[in-house]
Copies of this chain bind each other. A is one copy, B any other.
Amino acid sequence: MFDAKADDRAMWATRTSGEIVSTAREDGSVLVLPVGSIEQHGNHLPVATDTILAHEISALGVERVVDEIPVLLLPPLWSGYSPHHLTFGGTVSLEFDHLLAVLEDVVATALENGFDAVVLVNGHGGNQSAIDGAVSTIGTDHDDVEVLGVTYFQLARSFIDDVRDSELGGMGHGGEFETSLMLYLYEQLVRRDELNGTYLDEPYDLGDEDLLVGGPLAVYRDFDEYSETGAIGDPGLATAEKGEQIYELLGDELERFLRSVHRRNA
């Protein structure tokens, strides 16, 4: 279902117990956990988009470093926090504190194998505060492990202006950014005749302006207040070429980051 693959050596799910222990005990070992969601993504993208992309980017980063770094990739957690999408169908969501509990339990038991660091790679904006919270609660409980979290699309901050065609607000939920990535990676899952979204128009100046240009304001809004289709941004500007470019640049960023995590904790 989630097809992303890195080198076999890095895939937790398909390794044996003993093989996992052996990698985890190496010096500077890093555990990577993709965290996504299942939620409406407009009329053109599959509901698992955030899980798929968190998983794909994680797998790409891991693939890039597996020859040099002891690293293991857990399967993606697809049960995220998405109450703001429930008015549309197709959405599955945990309670906030249950997502926190799952993150804590999964990481705590995985860390028993002996990792020096763990990186949560999030794919869904609505998960962000739970991820950040979990980084703190997990960090508090594991003094000797480096506990880190990042939302994968935030890694594009450094390069996105060179890539995008849309104005601010065109890269939102199911907009130019995510749709381009999906066109590159899973073209067959994109409904090409449904590429409709609404530019992000948060009413407060302090609010977010784009997937990648956040404001200081936290606001709760059912997504039907933003968009009729459920998609925010301009999916019509998406192309597979742009998707490939974003994919490779995200891979560069994550690769660089994973190397620095390994180095610092070896």
Across the interface, which residues of B come within 8 angstroms of A41, CB to CB?
A: 16-17
- Asked if A138 contacts B43 (CB within 8 A), the reply is no
Q: Counting CB contacts under 8 A, is A66 at the interface?
A: no
User: Which of A17, A44, A46, A206: most chain B Cβ within 10 A?
Assistant: A17
Q: Which of A5, A12, A113, A216 has the most CB of B within 10 A?
A: A216
For the complex, count residues of A whose C-beta is within 8 A of B.
Answer: 105
Q: Does A11 have its Cβ within 8 Å of any Cβ on chain B?
A: yes
Q: Verify if A167 is at the interface (C-beta below 8 Å from B).
A: no
Minimum distance in angstroms from A223 CB to a CB of chain B: 10
Instruction: Pick from A18, A24, A148, A220 the residue with the most CB of B within 10 Å.
Output: A220
Contact with B along A174-192 (1 / 0, CB 8 A): 0000000000000001010
- Does A105 make an interface contact (CB < 8 A)? yes
Q: Considering the chains assembled together, what is the distance between the CA atoms of A138 and B219 in angstroms?
A: 10
Q: Do A94 and B102 touch across chains, with their CB atoms under 8 A apart?
A: yes
Query: Are A113's CB and B89's CB within 8 A?
Result: yes
Please name all residues of chain B whose beta carbon is closer than 8 Å to the beta carbon of A88 when the two chains form the complex: 17
User: Do B95 and A101 have beta carbons less than 8 Å apart?
Assistant: yes
Interface CB pairs A-B, < 8 A, 20: A1-B13, A2-B75, A13-B52, A16-B90, A16-B194, A17-B39, A17-B47, A17-B90, A19-B90, A24-B89, A83-B136, A91-B109, A97-B97, A126-B136, A131-B218, A139-B219, A147-B220, A150-B217, A204-B264, A205-B256
